């Protein structure tokens, strides 16, 4: 473990930005078929090379005439013209309009020689069995004729460089007959994930060997595409120097930029470091930013290189902060106006490490500007990806952000849309069904106790709590009851009948954490049991094997029972039935949805209230 | 021509909306690979089916220990533990931590049995040549260990239905090992262009036969994709019943919705009408809206049908107004917030036809809300597609929109970005080069005279004019001179020397329109010639063959010379040299860029001023 690199000389973030700009990404032009040009950026000006229309064109169904033959004509005194023929759209006229004659013409057809106006069919009458026509109006030359080049003329400027092509520009290019469009090439970005433990989603996972699914490859590939680049995934590289060199060299040969990502292991970083130094040049290693200290910037002979941190949220933040802009500029794509959001801090946040911090925040609508609240579950948590909406950059001199202070949030991607409603509190299966009816809700199942606390701080729109009391400030939106107890194996082979079995027998139990409303219910039941036995709760607890083994998630105790590693778990009837397990009922518990009293008018909250009123209750053990 | 349908019973637009909603588009679910799931909409809730991580995981490089073996340890009194082995990420541990032992462990590795904490390598020292380790700190159980399921636990709600997938959601799905994602199916939309005269871009165009490039197919296909649908292009159908029936039936069998589009000919509409009536059901024909009266809504046994008007701008407006929303809802895609813009009318607009009007408007930034100005070149003009940014819906009771009135503009597509600067006036080759330096400029080459007039009305940001005088309100941003005269065939075979040749000889001339600054210069030169000859200008003009033949576009007279249909054309030296033609110089003319005095601070105007100052002048006949 002696070869580990220390990142002693951290450079300021500006130098990292400059180093990445110095890599000179992009600027190439490629031709793409018009049909595939949507959202691409025009690389060059396009001037018209032909007239549109390319001929004098009838713009009405009717008759092509010499205008002077209709001078003075009107309803009372129509002009009489002999029919010399007909011209349809898409045909070359085979008729010449001489004095006193006309030709039937359809919209879009070529004006026949000699004609200089079209009379609409409604102002005419056929005569002599279709051999002639009477014109009941007087025409001027050019009436209902679109002259060649009237729409666009050859040589005219049609579209300038830098335009991102939408339906309308593709329409104009179609009119000009352009079928290959010169557009800014998408920078090719190779993504090399490192780490022997990584498995691509869809492949079999061996947890016993410490395998985990590779999060960064697809996350960063998607983020590259969001920035206008083309992502190329390379196979995982382990910590082996030769393999890493082969994969990085291949990616560098094929791509404009190579991103390594995925490994949290120092030895893999060491190997990359050596490969870059030997096959290219390392421009900087280590940036004074949190997270992202171990960021690398370098170049291979024909490709740029950036090494991202291993933790998914850190990797995405560093990508978004340092790399996305360079890809966008290389692709000629402007940052959409939806990519940043002005917000105000929901709570105060202290920080004092003396380096720039990229702080992941969630957003919650609050009437005017949204509130931003810090999300920091540790950067190893992939759930932070969806619990935060973007990043606030906090500069090194800022030790304190006050509640209400203005901040700019760079969304994780321009397509991110913050939730319409944000709730916290107890996990519950009926709640989960209710949330399905809402538009992009965010719910953090942090337990009833934490839910109450956070609601009191005023950040979330609602909290889900259990039991009665408190919350004088909040407004109850609705409630239901749920049956809780002990989840046991199917058929209850141990014949467990209640809490006394846990206390008196040698059973392996799995509990929920103290923040959970279920745990509160269990504690109260134990108090009652202790009272009835004349013992203290502490004495009873000491007799329960696993009482302190608190599984964070609602179904986890039941799943421990299902996989045979426990005899009983604290849980709900609904969970037991869902997992085909047995259930020993202990009691019913009331679950209440409490709204932030300041947000009752918020559309998301109104939608939740409606969902609460209308949702059918079809879960085992759940009642209204 | 007797079979033409009259649209006598126009239905109100609301009925058209209802008819399209009644077609019941979409709602299907499909599975797509995670790697291709970006921007797709989740069709179902995704709950975690596994714990992440799937094992107790070291979150530091260091040593796995039993915490109780380090109780009381510190810098002065380290704990001494024998090394029992090592565990790396991606490996199954082959070591068990007994009392008094430790194992080297890397970040991400599985905690070996018996260990309950990790000490970071920085707080340790190897001893006994790597056989043992000293721990200089005291640990609690769980230190630097991420428990199985701590990030996401099996059974937890991960993502709700209706979420549009971005990098972050794809990250979370990766962590859960999901590689096939249930998403809302994109409605398949078949596009059938009708009209014998249509040619796909890229194919050879025979203008003499009245062929034109097909604009609607690609425009509408792109608009379908912008709305979240999948567009399928079918071959052009002419007016032949059997062919139309075959193509429409095929499209209806393969698609959820068929759009016909492209034909301006009444007979093609008649044929479609008959096909729908015989093979399906026509729900409505004719909507009380301008444009779009001839819109059709119907259904085939397995597909919906909407007939769009033939003119490109009308087709796109009707698609956007009636169809895009239905496709979006079918795809589960929300309308992005960028799809509409609040604006105020730049000028008054009168209207009194008693039916809803979709008014195409351009947008120009004006400090606060942008100004919207009507663009109406006749719906046959494809240039309106890029000269307008979107649509204002004007209801039938509104006969008058005052300047400054608030309107909502639905952009032609959510990706449309209005121009950063809007100018009008004289066409000029140096101007075109200057515009290339600006970000999304819009310039309408309507001639110097119209440019002056529009600038005085206050709508554009700048105007390009020729000659001196006037414009006391405007600020001159810059100017240049250009050499103008007669463009003649290469080598000047007729030996033309000046205007007297046009007057006295039998030469075919092509002029520019009276709004053009070049035409003004020519008129002044003719005045001078008339004076010197003691004749009137009118007398001279009558002697010039083609003086009244005014080509709308700058290069058109020169191109008429190039194709042999004229002996001389009014134009610039720069144009003559670009087209390798001869040139007879008559004079120099000053071209001036005048800015709207209220918009000098606008970034686009500042960029134009800068471009004017810095642009190199490398065009023949152009000077500063």
pLDDT of residue A354: 81
Selecting from A39, A162, A222 the residue whose C-beta is nearest the C-beta of B166 gives A222
Do residue A166 and residue B121 have CB atoms under 8 angstroms apart? no
The pLDDT confidence band at residue A197, using thresholds 50, 70 and 90, is: confident
- In the block, tokens 């909306």 appear at B17
Q: What is the pLDDT of residue A261?
A: 84
B534 Cα to chain A: minimum distance (Å): 34
Among candidates B159, B210, B378 on the partner chain, residue whose Cβ is nearest the Cβ of A386: B159
Distance CA B354, CA B369 (A): 29
> Which residue in this structure is represented by tokens 């994969």?
A247
How close is the nearest chain A Cα to the Cα of B83, in Å?
Answer: 14
Interface of A with B in 297-326 (CB under 8 A): 310, 312, 316
Whether B337 and A338 lie within 8 Å, measured CB to CB:
yes
Burial (0-12, 13-18, 19+ Cβ within 10 Å), A174: buried
Contact A572, A619 (CB under 8 A): no
B8 — contact with chain A (CB < 8 Å)? Answer: no
Q: Which two tokens stand for residue B3?
A: 């079979």
Residue A2: band (very low, low, confident or very high) from pLDDT cuts 50, 70, 90: very low
Interface test with B, best of A86, A108, A239 (most B CBs within 10 A): A108
Interchain CB contact of B520 with A (< 8 Å)? no
Can you list the residues of chain B whose pLDDT is less than 70? 1-8, 262-267, 377-379, 470-472
Any CB–CB contact under 8 A between A417 and chain B? yes
List of chain B residues whose C-beta atoms are within 8 Å of the C-beta of residue A34? 201-202, 218
Is A270 at the interface with chain B, CB within 8 A? no
Residue that wins the pLDDT comparison between A419 and B334: A419
pLDDT (mean) for A262-267: 61
Residue B440 near chain A (CB below 8 Å): yes
- Of all residues in chain A, what percent carry a pLDDT higher than 70? 96
Which SS3 state, helix, strand or coil, does residue A226 take?
Answer: helix
Q: Which of residues 183-202 of B touch A (CB under 8 A)?
A: 195-202
**pLDDT, tens only, A229-247:** 999 999 987 778 899 999 9
Q: What share of chain A is helix, strand, coil (3-state, %, to 5)?
A: 30, 30, 40
A108 at the B interface (CB within 8 A)? yes
Q: How far apart are the first and last CA of chain B?
A: 60
Cα–Cα distance list, B556 to A56, A155, B566, B573 (Å): 15, 8, 11, 14
Tell me the chain B residues in contact with residue A412 when contact means C-beta distances shorter than 8 Å: 166-168
DSSP state of B305: E
In order, the DSSP letters of B120-143 are EGGGEEEEGGGTEEEE-S---TTT
pLDDT, residue B5, reads 45
Do B256 and B230 contact (CB within 8 A), yes or no? Answer: no
Q: How confident is the model at residue A26 (pLDDT cuts 50, 70, 90)?
A: confident
A435 touches chain B (CB under 8 A): yes
**d(C-alpha A500, C-alpha A526), whole Å:** 9
Q: Is A8 on the interface with B (CB under 8 A)?
A: no
Q: Which of A166, A312, A441 is nearest residue B226 as measured by Cβ atoms?
A: A166
Detail the DSSP E strand segments found in A75-167.
Answer: 79-87, 101-105, 117-120, 124-127, 132-135, 145-146, 157-159
Give the phi and the psi of residue B203 in degrees, each rounded to 5: -85, 165
Partners of residue B151 in chain A, C-beta under 8 Å: 380-383
Residue B155: closest CA among chain A residues belongs to which residue?
Answer: A555
End-to-end CA distance of chain A: 60
Q: Give residues 442 to 501 of A whose Cβ lies within 8 Å of B.
A: 443, 445
Question: Does residue B104 sit at the A interface (CB-CB below 8 Å)?
Answer: yes
Which of A38-42, A102-106, B348-352, B425-429 shows the lowest per-residue confidence on average (mean pLDDT)? B348-352
What residue of B is the nearest CA neighbor of A207?
Answer: B54
CB contact under 8 A, B54 and A173: no
Residues 576 to 615 of A: which have CB under 8 A from any B CB?
none
- Cβ–Cβ < 8 Å for B416, B442: no
DSSP string, B162-219: TPBP-HHHHHHHHHTT--EEEEEPPPEEEEEEE-TTEE-TTS---GGGT-EE--HHHH
For residue B94, give the chain A residue with the closest CA. A209
What three-state secondary structure class fits A593?
Answer: strand
Spatial CA neighbour of B6 closest among B356, B307, B293, B334: B293
Angle between helices A216-226 and A324-331 (to 10 degrees): 40
Q: Where are the alpha helices (DSSP H) in A213-358?
A: 216-226, 241-254, 266-279, 312-318, 324-331
- What tokens does A592 get? 């209440």
Distance CA B48, CA A151 (A): 58
pLDDT category, A16, cuts 50, 70, 90?
very high
Q: What distance in Å separates the CA atoms of residue A464 and residue A458, rounded to the nearest whole number?
A: 14
Helix, strand, or coil here: B222?
helix
**Six token digits for residue A284:** 């900087």
3-state SS class at B265: coil
Distances (CA, A) of B356 to A553, B264, B288: 56, 21, 6
Interface A:B, Cβ pairs < 8 A:
418
Contacts of A558 (CB under 8 A, 6+ apart): A487, A569, A571, A575, A576, A579, A581, B155
Average pLDDT, chain A: 91
CB contact under 8 A, A167 and B219: yes
Which pair of tokens denotes residue A434?
């209710």
For residue A332, the Cα-to-chain-centroid distance in whole angstroms is 21
CB contact under 8 A, B177 and A551: no
CA distance B467 to chain A (A): 22
- Cα separation, A273 vs A281, in Å, equals 10
Contacts of B190 (CB under 8 A, 6+ apart): B232, B234, B251, B252, B254, B255, B257, B258, B259, B303
Contacts of A436 in chain B (CB under 8 A): 45, 160-161
Q: Measured between beta carbons, which residues in chain A are less than 8 angstroms from residue B222?
A: 38, 166-167, 170-171
The alpha carbon of residue B91 is apart from the nearest alpha carbon of chain A, in Å, by: 5
How many angstroms separate the CA of residue B144 from the nearest CA in chain A? 11
Question: Which of A31, A87, A89 is most worth mutating to test chain B (most B CB atoms within 10 A of its CB)?
Answer: A89
Q: Has residue A223 got a pLDDT over 60?
A: yes
The verdict on a CB contact (< 8 Å) between A61 and B88 is no
Q: Residue B67 carries which DSSP code?
A: G
**Whether A88 and B45 lie within 8 Å, measured CB to CB:** no
Domains in chain A: ranges and CATH = 13-26+188-331 (3.40.980.10), 31-49+157-184 (3.90.105.10), 57-146 (2.170.190.11), 340-418 (2.40.340.10), 478-597+601-623 (3.40.190.10)
pLDDT for the residue B265:
58
Contact in structure between B278 and B14 (CB atoms under 8 Å): no
For B441, the closest of A151, A160, A211 (CB atoms) is: A160
pTM recorded for the entire structure = 0.91
SS (H, E, C) A470-516: CCCCCEEEEEEEEEEEEEECCCCCCCCCCHHHHHHCCCEEEECCCCC
User: CB A129: neighbour CB atoms within 10 A?
Assistant: 6
Q: Tokens representing A552?
A: 């964070």
Positive/negative CA dihedral, A605, A610, A613, A614: negative
* CB < 8 Å from B in window 130-149 of A: 146-149
- Mutation target to probe the A interface, by most A beta carbons within 10 A, among B163, B166, B167 is B167
Q: What is the DSSP letter of B399?
A: -
Q: How far apart are CA A547 and CA A513, in angstroms?
A: 10
Provide the total of helices (H) and of strands (E) in chain A, helices listed first: 16, 36
CA nearest neighbour of A178 among B233, B201, B200, B199: B201
* Complete DSSP assignment for A176-217: TT--EEEEEPPPEEEEEEB-TTEE-TTS---GGGT-EE--HH
Residues of B in contact with A226 (CB under 8 A): 38, 166-167
pLDDT category at A445 given cuts 50, 70, 90 is very high
Q: Which residues pair with A300 in a beta bridge?
A: A303
For residues A488 and A496, is the Cβ–Cβ distance under 8 A? yes
Best CA proximity match to B224, nearest among B254, B256, B183: B256
Which residues, other chains included, contact B472 with Cβ-Cβ below 8 Å and sequence gap of 6+?
none
Token pair for A618: 């079809």
B49 part of contact set with chain A, CB < 8 Å: no
Cα-Cα-Cα-Cα dihedral of B241, B246, B250, B256, to 10°?
A: 10
Residues 550 to 579 of B: which have CB under 8 A from any A CB?
A: 551-556, 558-559, 575
* Binary contact (A104, B207; C-beta < 8 A): no
CB B183 within 8 A of CB A207: no
Of the candidates B155, B176, B266, the beta carbon closest to that of A61 is on B266
Helix (H) or strand (E) holding A520: helix A517-533
- Contact of B153 with chain A, judged by CB distance below 8 Å, is answered with yes
CB contact under 8 A, A155 and B221: no
Position B168 scores a pLDDT of 95
């Amino acid at each position: 473990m002696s070869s580990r690199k220390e990142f002693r000389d951290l450079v300021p973030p500006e130098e990292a930005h400059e180093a990445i700009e110095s890599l000179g990404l992009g600027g190439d032009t490629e031709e793409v078929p018009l049909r595939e040009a949507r959202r691409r950026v025009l690389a060059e000006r396009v001037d018209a090379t032909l007239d549109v229309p390319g001929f004098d064109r009838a713009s009405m169904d009717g008759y092509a005439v010499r205008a002077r033959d209709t001078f003075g004509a009107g309803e009372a005194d129509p002009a009489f013209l002999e029919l010399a023929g007909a011209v349809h759209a898409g045909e070359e006229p085979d008729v010449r309009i001489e004095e006193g004659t006309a030709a039937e013409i359809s919209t879009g057809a070529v004006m026949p020689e000699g004609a200089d106006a079209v009379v609409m069919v409604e102002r005419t009458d056929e005569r002599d069995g279709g051999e002639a026509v009477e014109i009941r109006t007087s025409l001027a030359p050019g009436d209902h004729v679109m002259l060649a080049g009237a729409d666009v003329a050859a040589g005219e400027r049609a579209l300038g460089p830098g335009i991102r092509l939408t339906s309308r520009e593709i329409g104009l290019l179609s009119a000009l007959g352009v079928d290959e469009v010169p557009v800014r090439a998408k920078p090719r970005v190779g993504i090399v994930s490192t780490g022997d433990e990584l498995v691509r989603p869809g492949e079999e996972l061996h947890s016993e060997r410490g395998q985990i699914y590779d999060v960064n490859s697809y996350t960063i590939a998607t983020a590259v595409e969001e920035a206008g680049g083309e992502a190329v995934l390379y196979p995982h590289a382990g910590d082996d120097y030769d393999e890493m060199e082969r994969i990085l060299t291949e990616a560098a040969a094929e791509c404009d930029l190579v991103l390594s990502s995925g490994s949290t292991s120092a030895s893999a970083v060491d190997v990359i470091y050596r490969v870059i130094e030997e096959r290219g040049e390392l421009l900087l290693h280590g940036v004074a930013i949190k997270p992202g200290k171990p960021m690398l910037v370098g170049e291979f002979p024909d490709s740029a290189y950036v090494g991202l941190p291993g933790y998914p949220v850190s990797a995405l933040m560093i990508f978004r902060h340092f790399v996305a802009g360079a890809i966008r500029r290389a692709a000629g794509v402007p940052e959409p106006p939806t990519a940043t959001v002005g917000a105000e801090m929901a709570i105060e946040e202290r920080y004092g490490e003396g380096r720039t911090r990229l702080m992941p925040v969630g957003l919650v609508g609050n009437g005017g500007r949204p509130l931003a609240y810090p999300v920091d579950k540790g950067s190893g948590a992939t759930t932070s990806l969806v619990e935060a909406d973007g990043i606030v950059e906090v500069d090194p001199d800022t030790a304190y952000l006050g509640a209400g202070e203005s901040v700019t949030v760079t969304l994780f991607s321009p397509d991110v849309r913050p939730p319409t409603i944000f709730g916290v509190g107890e996990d519950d299966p009926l709640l989960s069904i209710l949330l399905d009816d809402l538009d992009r809700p965010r719910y953090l199942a942090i337990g009833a106790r934490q839910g109450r606390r956070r609601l009191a701080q005023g950040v979330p729109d609602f909290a889900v709590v259990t039991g009665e009391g408190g919350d004088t400030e909040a407004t109850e939106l609705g409630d239901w009851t749920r049956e809780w107890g002990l989840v046991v194996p199917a058929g209850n082979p141990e014949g467990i009948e209640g809490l006394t079995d846990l206390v008196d027998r040698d059973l392996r139990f799995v509990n929920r954490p103290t923040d959970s409303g279920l745990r509160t219910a269990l504690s109260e039941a134990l108090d009652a049991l202790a009272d009835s036995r004349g013992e203290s709760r502490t004495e009873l607890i000491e007799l329960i094997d696993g009482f302190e083994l608190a599984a964070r998630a609602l179904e986890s105790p039941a799943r421990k029972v299902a996989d045979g590693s426990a005899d009983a778990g604290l849980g709900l009837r609904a969970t037991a039935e869902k997992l085909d397990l047995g259930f020993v009922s202990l009691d019913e518990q009331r679950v209440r949805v409490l709204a932030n009293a300041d947000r009752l008018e918020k559309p998301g909250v109104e939608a939740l209230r409606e969902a609460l009123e209308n949702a059918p209750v079809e879960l085992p053990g759940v009642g209204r």
